[in-house]
Structure 1
Amino acid sequence: MDALILARRTVTKMVRNPEQFIDVTLQPVLMTVIFVFIFGGAVSGGTEQYLLLTLPAIVVQTIMFTSMTIGVNLNTDLKNGVFDRFRSLPIGRSAPLVGAVLGDIVRHTIAVGVSLAFGALIGFRFHTSPLEVLSAIVLMIVFAVSLCWISVFVGMIVRSSGAVQGISFLVVFPLTFGSSAFVPADTLPDWLQAWVSINPVNHVIEAMRGLLVGADHMAGDITLGGQILWVLASCVVLVGVFFPLATWAYRRKI
């Protein structure tokens, strides 16, 4: 209950500071325009075919970036003494962290919605059922919540919000661009294909392609069901590892 109340605080803070929604509304639009209209013709011979390849990946990339923002915000709150006030309240020790992660679900939902809506506006067509599309949205939000705990942990252990952002970029870029997100994996050098085959984010991208476009557009030998199970297992591991670490780091700070 404490976490839900603090989640409401997080959402209220977002509404009163609408600039916090800039990255989840403008970033997916800009990324889609840049990749589809600049690289679409060269990679796939046209924007329509390239949209089928890259829009699911742009959704995943957007979620990767938006999930890292929470660490910056929590680090700033920590420096401003907000958590000192929480410490004086009769609430669970981890409630402020859980509340912040739950409140961020609003931003993740907007990010996924804007990405898919803009993609549909410029020509993307879903080749799967409404239930599969809904499953893709839910899977992305679950993945985003799991990723948030990495950012929360980083936000608790580094000294400045700028450092959180810098570390986040160092993590996100190799994972998103070192994949089949924007080009077919078989066009990459052998050593890079080896990295793509073990890159966890690549499994997320292929699962999204299967749910949004169809299993016939997936690369690799793993079935759609296998990819989804892989993503869910990854979420369990992320939460199992980084939630205790983030809580431990938070308790040391306060």
Structure 2
Amino acid sequence: MTRQKPDVMLNGWVEQTPAYRNNIIFAIAQIISKTLVVAELEVRKLRHDPYDLLIRGVQPALWLLVFGQVFTRTRAIPTGNLSYLEFMAPGILAQSVLFVAIFTGGMTLIWERDLGIVHKFLASPIPRAAMVLGKALGCGVRCLSQIIIIYGLALLLGVKLNLNPLALLQVLVIVLLGAGCFCIFSLIIGCLVKTRERFTGIGQLLTMPLFFASNAIYPISLMPKWLQFISHINPLTYQVDALRGTMLVNGSSLYGFNLNCIILLLTLIGLTIICGKLYPRVAM
């Protein structure tokens, strides 16, 4: 029995989906394009408050100018062939990225929910993963300004930075990966707590332990065993290690740039899957 063709031509929206749209390549292309759209919307927000980028640079500047200068004179922390200020500079860049990402992702999500923007996004055909990755990419672009601030201060303080174009490109990659991880972690918190006041408290509770349980301002070898274990599962440790090997002329990496990138990328993928599942809860 043959199927009779309709007398009226079908409109485009009721036509059968072409076969190529069902393959994985098309799905990946759609996620990438939608991610870039969401990221563009996030970056456009900087036009309304561009001075926020400068304000975010005050805290790392104080760490370098005060904390770094003092501990360089004391020589209390063994840093190998690096001065303490050189050892500390990559850690302060990672700290700056951490703070910007944590207090940008979840807080922005809660504001958008209160304004009804999240509901519109959830009603659109944009994949949840693209929404999450778009915000992470937008946060990464926002964090690029911290590279300029930290590099400028470090050069003024006499830190020997590696200004090779390949090294600068590697720093950009690590900053984007680190910002993405912590932004999505912040989005997960925003999906769970749903209020600005509670998010602020939890954000402040988490940022300092993440910072101090890493190799940002002292080597892991100086930590007690239990803190070394936490440091090894802390993504910030691998971000700092990668930055320390690429930013500095005499810098070295314990784990290697490739391994650090793989760990950060796997963390990013895992957090994206979790956040994609939790994202619809924001509208509840």
Scaled to the shorter chain, the TM-score interval is: 0.7 to 0.9
2:93 counterpart (56, 59, 63): 59
1:252 aligns with 2:284: no
2:269 counterpart (225, 228, 240): 240
CA positional deviation for 1:192 = 4.3
Instruction: Please give the secondary structure, in 2, of the residue aligned with 1:167.
Output: helix
Amino acid at match of 1:20: D
Aligned partners of 2:136 and 2:179 also within 8 Å: no
Amino acid at match of 1:150: F
Which residue of 2 is the match for residue 34 of structure 1? 66
Which residue of 2 is the match for residue 181 of structure 1? 216
Aligned partners of 2:105 and 2:136 also within 8 Å: yes
TM-score computed with the length of structure 1 as normaliser: 0.82
TM-score computed with the length of structure 2 as normaliser: 0.74
CA positional deviation for 1:57 = 0.7
CA positional deviation for 1:70 = 1.2
Unaligned runs of 5+ in 2: 1-32
Amino acid at match of 1:165: T
Query: CA, structure 1 residues 10+189, in 2 after alignment: closer, same or farther (shift >3 Å)?
Result: closer
CA positional deviation for 1:158 = 0.9
Aligned partners of 1:150 and 1:238 also within 8 Å: no
Aligned partners of 2:141 and 2:176 also within 8 Å: no
Unaligned runs of 5+ in 1: none
Q: Percent identity?
A: 25
Aligned partners of 1:29 and 1:115 also within 8 Å: yes
Query: CA, structure 1 residues 18+234, in 2 after alignment: closer, same or farther (shift >3 Å)?
Result: same
In the alignment of these two chains, the number of paired residues is 246
Bigger share in helix: 1
1:18 counterpart (41, 50, 54): 50
Alignment partners' CA distance in 1, 2:232 and 2:120:
46
Query: CA, structure 1 residues 206+79, in 2 after alignment: closer, same or farther (shift >3 Å)?
Result: same
CA positional deviation for 1:120 = 1.0
Deviations 1:185-220 (A, max 9, x none): 444456545554564433332222111225x6547x
Alpha-carbon RMSD? 2.8
1:110 aligns with 2:145: yes
